[in-house]
Structure 1
Amino acid sequence: MIFSQAKACSVIDFHCHLDLMKDPAKTVRELEVAQIYVLSVTTVPKAFPKTSRLVKVKGRIRTALGYHPQLVGERPNELPLFERMLHETRYVGEVGLDGGKEFTKSQSSQAKIFSEILSLCRSDGSKIVSIHSRHAADAVLDKIEEHPGFGVPVLHWFTGNRFELERAIKLGCWFSIGAPMLRTAKGKATVAKMPSERILTETDAPFASSNISSSLSEATKGLSNIWRMDAIETANTLKSNLATLVA
């Protein structure tokens, strides 16, 4: 089964680090029983092969090839490996930029690698890309604008300001939303301004949650409140969004 065949009321986790869970194999079994659709992102290219082997080829879980900006400084030489494996998946993530003070020294390298990743995606064919933009929303949007044709950007846990959000929407970005984003007035206000047809749920497990099902349930309930829909209508909207994204 592929993402585009997601059933009505499907549960979706579009950004989850399965390989970093306490017991990845057990987590995968639980997700399969629960019939949750998952994008399993990786943080370095070397993690992609082993993480891919955790899941069934035709199951509900897809594995993304990643190169996390927070790890670029300590692992700067994995881009050739990323390039060699890119043809194996339609999904890329987690990639992007991190503008946090603790990563100041690597920001030049981050920018170079993120640019090259987007160029590679454009050359290999359109990809669906889960993007990290912590303290770097404008810089990430600059890169997206500079590399048309790389695919579809899905901004993971987006916390940019109103002007950055408006720019992201104009650039065609999608958004993956987790429960923690919906626990504050600011987060709710930001999500309310996002196009409902370009939103998917996520957990960012194990970092933001250790219980994927309950976290997704909380996120879906939060979106129901913002959209003023019942739970079934909200779940069906998210399912329709996923089908549209991967169509």
Structure 2
Amino acid sequence: MIDFHCHLDLFPNPREVAAEVQRRGAGVLSVTTTPSAWPGTSRLGQDRPAIRTALGLHPQIAAQRKQEIKLFERYLPETQYVGEVGLDGSPELRASWPDQQDVFRHILQACSDAGNKVLSIHSRRAVDPVLDLLEKYKGDSTFILHWFSGNQTQLKRAVDLGCWFSVGPSMLAGAKGKALVAKMPKNRVLLETDGPFAQYRQSALRPWDVNEGCSLLVDVWDESQARVEDQIRNNERLLLQTVS
């Protein structure tokens, strides 16, 4: 199973976690929060084919790090994966909203121009503005909405736009998360942990804990464990074909 959204470089012991990922034969999309973190984080995946590194500029720090957009452009040709990027409409980030939009537009344009990128996207309290921009800059990019928390109308809009969804144990532990996942097309659901920030059973999630997400999907989808695992693996193969 692949963890499609994990902050590998932000674990207290990232090298040990990376080595354990490889030892277990797990897969990880290691997202970054700033372009300046790209060189060091990408080295965690060096000679570890199970780890892919995404180039990101997190919306929560877009205002402080917007000058790094030039670095983003510099490193973009080195990867087909982009994340964590997006918008965050939380009240405490209201002052940074114009900068967030500028940065996200710039990233989407760069990805559209480059072609064939997979983006892991943050949309907390900003689903409609995110989808507005995705519609404008679609190109041939593949969009994965990380920990989607919108309403049912927004979910339908995202599905119609062709978005994928990465869901994890923390999301699936709540009633709202379960209800949203139950409405998502099964063939567009991927797994994530959002470790080390997300927790499940009072412990920080690690990349191989995506298996907990599979177990929780058994109840949400009313399917056997084997059927759930087969569906997720098929989804992973289908998505990875877009960047092969």
* TM-score, length-scaled by structure 1: 0.93
Task: Determine the C-alpha separation between the residues in 2 that align with 1:69 and 1:226.
Answer: 30
Task: Determine the C-alpha separation between the residues in 1 that align with 2:106 and 2:64.
Answer: 18
CA contact (8 A) 1:36 1:60 kept: yes
What are the ranges of 5 or more consecutive residues in structure 1 without an aligned counterpart? 1-10
Task: Determine the C-alpha separation between the residues in 2 that align with 1:148 and 1:74.
Answer: 27
Does residue 226 of structure 2 align to residue 232 of structure 1? yes
Q: Which residue of 2 aligns with 1:12?
A: 2
Task: Determine the C-alpha separation between the residues in 1 that align with 2:140 and 2:133.
Answer: 11
Q: Which residue of 2 aligns with 1:140?
A: 130
For 1:73, give the aligned amino acid. A
Shift of residue 231 of structure 1?
1.7
Shift of residue 57 of structure 1?
4.3
Q: Which residue of 2 aligns with 1:246?
A: 240
State the Cα deviation string for residues 207-227 of structure 1 (Å, max 9, x = none).
003242563222111112122
Q: Which residue of 1 aligns with 2:178?
A: 188
Shift of residue 184 of structure 1?
1.8
For 2:33, give the aligned amino acid. T
Q: Which residue of 1 aligns with 2:20?
A: 30
What SS does the corresponding residue of 1:75 show, helix, strand or coil?
A: helix
Q: Is 51-60 or 167-176 further displaced after alignment?
A: 51-60
For 1:60, give the aligned amino acid. A
Shift of residue 32 of structure 1?
0.9
Change (3 A) 1:96 1:150: farther
Query: What is the percent sequence identity of the aligned residues?
Result: 48
CA contact (8 A) 2:116 2:141 kept: yes
Shift of residue 180 of structure 1?
1.3
CA contact (8 A) 2:3 2:208 kept: no
State the Cα deviation string for residues 77-122 of structure 1 (Å, max 9, x = none).
0001000110000000000000011111111111111011011001
Task: Determine the C-alpha separation between the residues in 1 that align with 2:175 and 2:208.
Answer: 21
Q: Which residue of 1 aligns with 2:105?
A: 115
CA contact (8 A) 2:3 2:207 kept: no
Task: Determine the C-alpha separation between the residues in 2 that align with 1:82 and 1:128.
Answer: 15
Q: Is 143-152 or 80-89 further displaced after alignment?
A: 143-152
Q: 1:220 aligns with which of 200, 214, 218?
A: 214
Shift of residue 58 of structure 1?
5.6
What are the ranges of 5 or more consecutive residues in structure 2 without an aligned counterpart? none
Shift of residue 125 of structure 1?
1.4
Shift of residue 12 of structure 1?
1.6
Task: Determine the C-alpha separation between the residues in 2 that align with 1:49 and 1:184.
Answer: 36
Change (3 A) 1:97 1:213: closer
What SS does the corresponding residue of 2:150 show, helix, strand or coil?
A: coil
Q: 1:154 aligns with which of 129, 144, 152?
A: 144
Does residue 45 of structure 2 align to residue 55 of structure 1? yes
Task: Determine the C-alpha separation between the residues in 1 that align with 2:117 and 2:93.
Answer: 27
Q: Which residue of 2 aligns with 1:73?
A: 63
Q: Which residue of 2 aligns with 1:176?
A: 166
Q: Which residue of 2 aligns with 1:164?
A: 154
For 1:157, give the aligned amino acid. W
Bigger relative contact order, structure 1 or 2, given CA contacts below 8 A and separation 6+?
1
CA contact (8 A) 1:118 1:150 kept: no
For 1:242, give the aligned amino acid. E
